[in-house]
Structure 1
Amino acid sequence: MNIQQQLLSTLPVLKVTDSLDKAIAFFADTTYSHIAVTDKKKFLGLLSVNDIACFEANKKVETYRYELETFSVDPKTSWLDVLEIFARNEANIIPVVKETGTVVGYYDLTDIVSVFIATPFFTEPGGILVVSKGIKDYSFSEIAQIVESNNTKLLGAFITNSQNDLIEITIKINSANLNEVIQSFRRYNYTIILGSNDDQFMEDLKERSDYLDKYLNV
């Protein structure tokens, strides 16, 4: 899935020689969490809205270069990896940086989540399963085989939790009749956390994500 059409190229990028006043004005006018900084037109890092409150407004960005965060993506980064970087850095904006170090724009969290919401995982009718198994014992190929052995199609699967050597996986299939699929997963020693039609589950998935609730009105 190509997300480059979501690239925002109109938002500012600071130079390391700029005054912090520019960053303060940017954060005052937007709800973004970060702004990119360059040195000699090469990406250097990001100023955070949380950090800048502790900085002196009349100083140059250069003064705080060692306080900059350094996450970014390149134009070829997949949308799933982009979402992971958003979550890992508690950001709602990510700079897109070419191999040359040039900042070509930003991805906005709202835009990337809209791409996710538009995937068949959310849009196609079907059923939802949440299963768990030992982190060393599961495989996505096995999950696909279990689903397809019951004459159903796998619409998507992703890891939703991982702790204490257990992995939790949310699965979407194209059938609301989950009984046979559930029994097959049990035969393969998966624990069934949830098995339901997707309507209420998808609402819960959208509404209860602490991270998305922080930045979006889903």
Structure 2
Amino acid sequence: MSTKEFIKEQVEKFSSSFTPGQFTELSRTENSLIILEVPLKDYTLTEIARIVESNNAHITALSVMPISGGEFLLISLKLDIDDVTVLLRSFERFNYNVVYYFMKEGEVTDKQKERLDELMYYLEM
């Protein structure tokens, strides 16, 4: 399975309609999805969970898939918060590669991303 297929499958699982039986298995507050790409040698679930929980969020579902011959992992995190902006910044701060994210509210706009990139460039001078 390729990276794009994995992301597509996770997004479809997240956004598809459920039967009543499937719905009872899910958390009622599952609102966001983040997919990380992590080198296998750097993968530590406890660190990822610590980053999530330090931002007042909880992981409601987790999927892991090896890619690139097992050198990298795609980690899909379903979270119980609406706005993952702060969490995205935390992952960036700890050098995690966020390949995809979805949130119901407060999406980061391109303008905000540009301003953040400019700030980071200024701070690195």
Shared topology, TM-score over 0.5?
yes
> Which of 153, 163, 170 is equivalent to 2:58?
153
| Aligned mates of 1:115, 1:143 — CA distance in 2 | 30
Relative to 1, partners in 2 of residues 1:117 and 1:188: Cα closer, same or farther, differing over 3 Å?
farther
The alignment partner of 1:156 has SS state of strand
Q: Following superposition of structure 1 onto structure 2, how do residues 156-175 of structure 1 map, counting pairs within 5 Å?
A: 156-164=61-69, 165-175=71-81
After superposing the two structures, state which structure 1 stretch, 129-138 or 153-162, moved more. 153-162
| Aligned mates of 2:74, 2:86 — CA distance in 1 | 20
Q: Following superposition of structure 1 onto structure 2, how do residues 28-39 of structure 1 map, counting pairs within 5 Å?
A: none
Moved over 4 A (4+): 114-118
Structure possessing the higher relative contact order (Cα contacts under 8 Å, 6 or more residues apart): 2
Relative to 1, partners in 2 of residues 1:138 and 1:124: Cα closer, same or farther, differing over 3 Å?
same
Relative to 1, partners in 2 of residues 1:139 and 1:119: Cα closer, same or farther, differing over 3 Å?
farther
CA RMSD of aligned residues (A): 2.3
TM-score, scaled to structure 2: 0.58
| Aligned mates of 1:162, 1:182 — CA distance in 2 | 22
| Identity across matched positions, percent | 23
The alignment partner of 1:136 has SS state of helix
Q: Please say which structure displays the higher CA radius of gyration.
A: 1
| Aligned mates of 1:160, 1:116 — CA distance in 2 | 23
TM-score, scaled to structure 1: 0.35
Relative to 1, partners in 2 of residues 1:157 and 1:196: Cα closer, same or farther, differing over 3 Å?
same
- Partner amino acid, structure 2, of 1:137: D
CA contact (8 A) 1:159 1:169 kept: yes
CA contact (8 A) 1:154 1:173 kept: yes
- Partner amino acid, structure 1, of 2:100: L
The alignment partner of 1:189 has SS state of coil
Matched, 1:188 2:97: no
The equivalent residue for 2:34 is: 129
| Aligned mates of 2:62, 2:102 — CA distance in 1 | 15
CA offsets 1:135-166 (integer angstroms, 9 cap, x no match): 11011111110100111112121103432411
Deviation at 1:125, TM superposition (A): 3.0
Relative to 1, partners in 2 of residues 1:118 and 1:169: Cα closer, same or farther, differing over 3 Å?
farther
Structure 2, unmatched stretches of 5+, are 1-19, 105-125
Relative to 1, partners in 2 of residues 1:170 and 1:118: Cα closer, same or farther, differing over 3 Å?
farther
